[in-house]
Chain A
Amino acid sequence: GAVVSQHPSRVICKSGTSVKIECRSLDFQATTMFWYRQFPKQSLMLMATSNEGSKATYEQGVEKDKFLINHASLTLSTLTVTSAHPEDSSFYICSARVRTALGEQFFGPGTRLTVL
């Protein structure tokens, strides 16, 4: 399958700081990437769709000014959690779909964010 990398894998920060997470498609070009969040023992929740060269599309209830998404190239999308608070502590996972007939989606390894 296609390879998606994500960095960092884990981050611990103080409340009020901003955290940037990078997502890269390593062996294919992704015009669209997706950002998910998952709290312990809960389902994946789609936060936003990242579109190369244009604004991200956010799901209902997700604050676009708090979760800044930039998709500057066909292989890189970044998510910045601005002014992070303890309630933002979660597992953030990016994903990209491949351009095949079935359109499978492949995930990065995720970033575990802990805000103190």
Chain B
Amino acid sequence: RKEVEQDPGPFNVPEGATVAFNCTYSNSASQSFFWYRQDCRKEPKLLMSVYSSGNEDGRFTAQLNRASQYISLLIRDSKLSDSATYLCVVNTGRRALTFGSGTRLQVQP
């Protein structure tokens, strides 16, 4: 079983739609959580950290459920520029963060 699991997608949604991604992690001792975004042929970039109480940044809302060990990312009012791969990332206590394989989003006009 992978330490961080994500649905690879692709999620094809029209502009303006709301889309949600989920991710599960296996290590219950994981300490911090993030969503990264990776565009095609580019490096991953930090999108947002995920806090236990849930947090919002503009159109993006991240939530953490420690009991069920899952993390979610909600994108409202999708834009064409949101098309990318979204990586669920977990700090399991190792030196490097643990990355999920990513969920691909394609927003269509």
Contact = CB atoms under 8 A, between A and B. Distances in A.
A91 B34 CA distance: 23
B101 A97 contact: no
Interface stretch (B12-20, B38-46, B65-73, B74-82): B38-46
Contacts of B32: 101-103
A104 B46 CA distance: 8
24 contacts: A32-B95, A34-B96, A43-B100, A43-B102, A49-B95, A93-B43, A95-B96, A97-B95, A97-B97, A101-B32, A102-B32, A102-B34, A102-B49, A102-B91, A103-B32, A103-B97, A104-B49, A105-B96, A105-B97, A107-B43, A109-B42, A109-B43, A110-B43, A112-B41
Interface of A: 1, 32, 34, 43-44, 46, 49, 91, 93, 95, 97, 101-110, 112
